[in-house]
Structure 1
Amino acid sequence: MQIRFVAGFGPVTQDAEAAGAFWADALGIRFREAAPGYFANDSLAGVGTFARWPLTQVAEATFGSPDWPVEHPVPQAWLELDVASAQEVADAVAELRAAGHEVLVDAHDEPWGQTAARVQSPEGVLVGITYTPWMHQR
């Protein structure tokens, strides 16, 4: 697998008001509500997207339920590492499994056009291996 760039990064939030007060008000990062409860900034230099992603949405996207499973550490952050194609996402899943890593969700197409698979790092970071077509056109 060859990671091309960081497609996205941000905190996994459990308190929307506190997150907004810190990230937007105190630090001055401007966000747009890209989806209900999901606040993103796609123009912050150094990363494709920096977004506050609610834990309930993280759990839903990963496990199909708004509740994070107790057998996995609750992630404090998410990171998406983009590869060159949707096929490379599937290939990365095979590589990760062959190396003994637990894949939380296999390669699949998201409704917004991104291909994604997810694993969790030993530190608890939710790591997406992704192909985000519109970010390759920048």
Structure 2
Amino acid sequence: MALNLSGIEVLFIAGFGPVSVTAESGTAFYIDTLGLPLKAMDGNSEYLLSEEGKLEGVKHFAIWPLSQAATSCFGIPQWPSHLSKPQGWIEYEVQDLDLATHILSDKGYHLLVAKRTEPWGQTVTRLLSPEGLLTGLTVTPWLRS
């Protein structure tokens, strides 16, 4: 069942996780201390993720290094000093990304990325929530099967 918020049809939470300042601190806490079943993503040893079905309750959980989040949003590995640094990220899979992006823009939200296709094939619009959570509205083809 999809949740419809003011015309944006959220299908499910596509992913969630903390934004880590360093890969070492993320590994020490989430893998070494909590024992989460995370592994490095192929080709990106700092992005630690759960394989589908290995961590119940979420389709995709990953520790996203701040430098990589900044690169994804701004094209540079430094988070802009005029924006609060996110401590976590969440992505909502939506039925219609064009409509969702239009609604967010019309409501005056500052979009960091609008309808951009990432190198891994996901299309995303990103913004900071009022609480500073790095929030994505997405179309993720491999999660829709």
Residue 40 of structure 1 corresponds to 49
In the TM superposition, residue 75 of structure 1 has moved relative to its aligned partner by 0.2
Deviation digits for residues 65-96 of structure 1, max 9, x if unmatched? 10101111000000000013xxx112211100
Q: Give the unaligned 5+ runs of structure 1.
A: none
Q: Tell me if structure 2 keeps the 8 A contact 1:11–1:76.
A: yes
State the identity %: 43
Deviation digits for residues 31-76 of structure 1, max 9, x if unmatched? 1211231010033111111100000000000011101011110000
Aligned residues: 134
Residue 107 of structure 2 corresponds to 99
After the TM superposition, which segments of 4 or more aligned residues of structure 1 sit over 2 Å from their partners? none
Letter in 2 for 1:49: H
- Indicate which of 91, 96, 100 corresponds to 1:80: 91
Residue 5 of structure 1 corresponds to 12
Give the whole-Å Cα distance in 2 for the aligned partners of 1:134 and 1:110: 14
Q: Give the unaligned 5+ runs of structure 2.
A: 1-7
What TM-score results when the alignment is normalised by the length of structure 1? Answer: 0.93
Structure 1 counterpart SS, 2:61: strand
Structural mapping, 1:18-29, within 5 Å:
18-29=25-36
What TM-score results when the alignment is normalised by the length of structure 2? Answer: 0.88
In the TM superposition, residue 133 of structure 1 has moved relative to its aligned partner by 1.0
- Hey, which of these two has a bigger chunk of helix by percent? 1
Give the whole-Å Cα distance in 1 for the aligned partners of 2:102 and 2:112: 13
